Structure 1
Amino acid sequence: MGEVYELVSTAILETRGLTKQFSGFTAVKSVDLSVKEGTIHALIGPNGAGKSTVFNLLTKFLVPTSGQIFYRGEDITSVEAASIAQRGLVRSFQISAVFPHLSVRENVRVALQRKRGGCFDFWRSEKILDQYNDRADELIDAVGLSEFRTHTAVELAYGRKRALEIATTLALEPNVMLLDEPMAGLGREDIGRISALIKQSAKGRTVLMVEHNLSVVADLSDTISVLQRGEIIAEGTYAEVSQNPQVISAYMGSGHGHH
């Protein structure tokens, strides 16, 4: 029996029959998603497919109409957002945007403080904040922002803002990192950079990313789930889903294939 149990326990984040209706319109329809621990899992689909809704259900911004969400085998459907963050399920791109006028380093320090259970003690002495500097600098270096350490977040180019958002997310030491369209609006060079960064930060953790564009997740994901009109129409490796006739027609039918 041990064997079977092992197999069951590899899914770190799972949904069963996840459904969300907005005044009669079904945005997400009975979605079963299984994200295996230690993998990069991409949820992709054309505009209006329901990706953001699934993401918002997983991150507790929305409450499902029906269905369940499991984290490490525990039903967290009615658990609050703050509590799931403490368990290590962290949504990216929700922090750095809050402090546009703090420097790159200050943004990362605030996130580190938050991880250590602090409230935002901006009035604390420099000395207390300085203990976070080494770790902050390590993270800034890891995302390639060392030369921008003293720049304010608002001054950064778009792709570098994304790198900062990844650094502030990593500061929270997530077990599962949830990324909402991390490549949206990026040029080719930045896509390559952010992609490498996601791969790097995925070491030793699990990543679920929502992405519109299938080609950008090609060599980034272990598993890709394709959503269309609120339902998963295909799942597998990039090679598998990109050959799937339903996927091809979903993308063609939506009036745009690749960016």
Structure 2
Amino acid sequence: MDTILETRGLTKEFKGFVAVNQVDLKVQRGHIHALIGPNGAGKTTCFNLLTKFLIPTRGQILFNGSDITNESPARIARRGVIRSFQISAVFPHLTVLENVRVALQRKLGTSFHFWRAESILEPLNARAMELLRSVDLDAYAALPTVELSYGRKRALEIATTLAMDPELMLLDEPTQGMGLEDVDRIRQLIKKVSANRTILMVEHNMSVVSSIADTITVLQRGATLAEGPYAEVSKNPAVMEAYMGSADAQLQGH
């Protein structure tokens, strides 16, 4: 199998507390890989280590075979590892189209050319509309972003992430706080945009994970508890015990 991202013994300690403990992760190219686990399991800390918002205490991070453990967040982003919130905090008073155009400008390196005429951005409109179509937002292109529903704002964040042309997309809780209809929309959207890229996601909604993830890594107390396809992981007694009670029932898809 072709591994795009690998961690070896990834560890993060905070004043003696081990938040991530010797995690060995292998993400296969072209797959959707989900990180799940109870609250406090270390999922978001793991994401922060991968994008260098936190510095590992020990261990290695490799992307396409290159050691990126000591690289800056900006350098890692330039390699094509893009975390959704890094570039997708939407601007509420710009239109939906303008938000995507700003992300496209970042890719071109013209973000700070404030003194140039707006007309120079018009060539970006066609690509921006293409990205909006890919997330089913083309009908909302002229709408001020503040008027979008929460679920559609999250779809716009995915469009702005795609504008950075990621090789590996990191999505942190993409369906958090959504109603059923929006959850289903984002689930279908993630599946759709995964066609030509790799996705690593932290997600609490087991119905989403079970329906789109190729591989699941379960973390507990910062360490890997289990890994494999959902059908296998969901029947693992240690995983069921970690989730307990109603969360256990949720793991089984109820």
TM-score category of the 2 structures, normalised to the smaller one: over 0.9
* Residue matched to 1:200: 192
* Residue matched to 1:211: 203
* Residue matched to 1:3: none
| Contact 2:88-2:158 within 8 A present in 1 as well | no
Question: Could you tell me which of 124, 134, 152 is aligned with 2:126?
Answer: 134
Stretches of structure 2 that go unaligned for 5 or more consecutive residues are none
* Residue matched to 1:11: 3
| Contact 2:11-2:20 within 8 A present in 1 as well | yes
Range with greater deviation from structure 2 (134-143 or 121-130)? 121-130
| Contact 1:41-1:223 within 8 A present in 2 as well | yes
* Residue matched to 1:85: 77
| Contact 2:90-2:157 within 8 A present in 1 as well | no
Q: Deviation of residue 95 (structure 1)?
A: 2.5
| Contact 1:110-1:120 within 8 A present in 2 as well | no
Question: Could you tell me which of 209, 219, 231 is aligned with 1:227?
Answer: 219
Within 5 Å, give how 1:99-114 maps onto structure 2: 99-114=91-106
Whole-Å separation in 1 of the counterparts to 2:130 and 2:61: 34
**TM-score, normalised via structure 1 length:** 0.92
**TM-score, normalised via structure 2 length:** 0.94
* Residue matched to 1:4: none
| Contact 2:9-2:59 within 8 A present in 1 as well | yes
Alignment size in residue pairs: 250
* Residue matched to 1:40: 32
- Runs of 4+ displaced beyond 4 Å: none
Whole-Å separation in 1 of the counterparts to 2:247 and 2:3: 33
Match of 2:202, SS state, is strand
Whole-Å separation in 2 of the counterparts to 1:121 and 1:159: 31
* Residue matched to 1:251: 243
Give the residue type in structure 2 aligned to 1:194. I
Range with greater deviation from structure 2 (197-206 or 141-150)? 141-150
| Contact 1:40-1:207 within 8 A present in 2 as well | yes
* Residue matched to 1:173: 165
* Residue matched to 2:60: 68
Match of 1:35, SS state, is strand
Stretches of structure 1 that go unaligned for 5 or more consecutive residues are 1-6
Question: Could you tell me which of 121, 125, 134 is aligned with 2:117?
Answer: 125
Percent sequence identity over matched residues? Answer: 64
Whole-Å separation in 1 of the counterparts to 2:163 and 2:151: 19
